[in-house]
């Protein structure tokens, strides 16, 4: 691909991201999949960067999963979203930041729909008032939490303790960036870099010293696809998509994968175990897999947080080879100790995929 062409497209798709005062809403599933990621987002933004990031326990699901599974109509989703906006308005914020990619796509779709069909927005306002006597203002700015980390990537780089380089050779680590489908594929102009060349994760990797890998199936879905995975009979389709991506990236020998979606890191991580059990094949060096990290986890790594406080022990694919390559200090014995230092016991090891 022509580098100058990419540069031009990236410059066409830059979005305005305010520097402070964000209303943050968590994902339904991320806290189960990679529980430290959202905690790390608030830790980094509030305590490391000193930003005002507010969240409320009254926030609920955005309805995105049910909407994309065709189980609830869009008007219902809109009323749920209207309530979230009402909570933001009541808290005195105007910048809305969802942690989930599907939520981000959902909010973008609803705001765009209300823009095109104001009568629908009026109806939803009425429905919300009837349901819970709330009113709302639409957010001035909508940005995904990865947009914010992208926006502050250089500040993080300035405070970083580690760089994404091989400590032995000094070479940048080869990183695959995987963007959630609902981030840019539905509304490219809402994304940093558009749908073809989203720069949100690539920008982080470059700022933190790594090298982004360009491979043929780079923009292919991770394979989650709600209706593929949630119906067991369709799971072969889900894993086949993931397999296709790994087959495509394998010749480039990536050191890690960074993602910005709730489902992608989970499926790219866990399906490596299933692919290994089904085919006997692993994609990392020496029988290991390719570690899959969320952008908060990667930010936490470069900032020098303890890998076990980042929840990296909850990944299926062992992260130790990556940590060793960067030269990160960690205590292997503390891997399965809880926050209260209580032993969490050891998981059963896979038969093919090598784990530490």
**Contacts with other proteins, residue ranges (CB under 8 A):** 216-217, 232-237, 239-240, 243-244, 247-248, 274-275, 277-280, 351
- Report in angstroms how near the CB of residue 244 gets to other proteins at its nearest: 5
- Report in angstroms how near the CB of residue 130 gets to other proteins at its nearest: 41
For residue 316, the number of C-alpha atoms closer than 13 Å in the C-beta half-sphere is 22
Residue 118 burial by Cβ neighbours in a 10 Å radius (0-12, 13-18, 19+): exposed
Token representation of residue 78: 């809109």
Choice between 71 and 279, CB closer to other proteins: 279
Residue 200 CB neighbour total at 10 angstroms? 25
Choice between 51 and 244, CB closer to other proteins: 244
Residues 6+ apart with CB under 8 A from 302: 156, 157, 160, 161, 162, 163, 164, 208, 209
- Report in angstroms how near the CB of residue 108 gets to other proteins at its nearest: 25
- Angle between helix 118-132 and helix 101-116 axes, rounded to 10 deg: 120
Choice between 91 and 231, CB closer to other proteins: 231
Choice between 197 and 208, CB closer to other proteins: 197
State the SS3 of 189-256: HHCCCCCCCCCHHHHHHHHCCCEECCCCCCCCCCCCCHHHHCCHHHHHHHHHHHHHHHHHHHHHCCCE
- Angle between helix 74-91 and helix 101-116 axes, rounded to 10 deg: 100
Choice between 133 and 232, CB closer to other proteins: 232
- Report in angstroms how near the CB of residue 353 gets to other proteins at its nearest: 12
- Report in angstroms how near the CB of residue 253 gets to other proteins at its nearest: 16
- Report in angstroms how near the CB of residue 247 gets to other proteins at its nearest: 4
- Report in angstroms how near the CB of residue 5 gets to other proteins at its nearest: 15
Choice between 107 and 226, CB closer to other proteins: 226
* Cα separation, 246 vs 279, whole angstroms: 13
Choice between 141 and 215, CB closer to other proteins: 215
Cross-strand bridge partners of residue 141: 95
């Amino acid at each position: 691909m022509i580098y100058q062409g990419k540069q031009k497209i990236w410059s066409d798709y830059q979005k305005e991201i305010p520097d402070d005062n964000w209303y943050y809403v968590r994902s339904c599933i991320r806290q189960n999949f990679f529980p430290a990621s959202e905690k790390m987002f608030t830790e980094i933004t509030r305590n490391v960067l000193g930003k005002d990031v507010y969240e409320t326990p009254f926030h609920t699901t955005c309805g995105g999963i049910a909407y994309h599974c065709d189980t609830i109509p869009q008007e219902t989703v809109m009323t749920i979203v209207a309530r979230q906006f009402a909570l933001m308005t009541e808290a005195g914020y105007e910048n809305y930041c969802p942690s989930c990619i599907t939520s981000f796509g959902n909010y973008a779709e609803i705001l765009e729909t209300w823009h095109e069909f104001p009568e629908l927005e009026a109806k939803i306002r009425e429905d919300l008032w009837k349901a819970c006597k709330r009113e709302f203002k639409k957010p001035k700015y909508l940005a995904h939490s990865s947009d914010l980390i992208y926006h502050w990537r250089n500040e993080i780089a300035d405070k970083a303790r580690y760089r994404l380089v091989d400590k032995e050779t000094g070479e940048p680590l080869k990183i695959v960036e995987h963007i959630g489908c609902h981030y840019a594929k539905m509304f490219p102009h809402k994304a940093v870099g558009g749908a073809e060349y989203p720069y949100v994760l690539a920008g982080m990797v470059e700022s933190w010293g790594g090298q982004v890998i360009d491979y043929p199936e780079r923009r292919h879905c991770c394979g989650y696809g709600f209706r593929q995975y949630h119906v067991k009979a369709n799971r072969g389709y889900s894993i086949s998509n993931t397999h296709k991506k790994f087959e495509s990236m394998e010749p480039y020998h990536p050191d890690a994968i960074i993602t910005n979606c709730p489902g992608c890191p989970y499926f790219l991580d866990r399906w490596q175990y299933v692919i290994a059990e089904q085919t006997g094949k692993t994609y990392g060096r020496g029988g290991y897999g390719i570690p899959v990290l969320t952008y908060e986890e990667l930010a936490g790594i470069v900032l020098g947080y303890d890998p076990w406080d980042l929840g990296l022990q909850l990944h299926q694919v062992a992260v130790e080879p990556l940590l060793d390559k960067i030269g990160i200090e960690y205590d292997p014995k503390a891997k399965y100790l809880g926050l209260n230092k209580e032993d969490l016991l050891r998981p059963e090891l896979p038969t093919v995929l090598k784990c530490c």
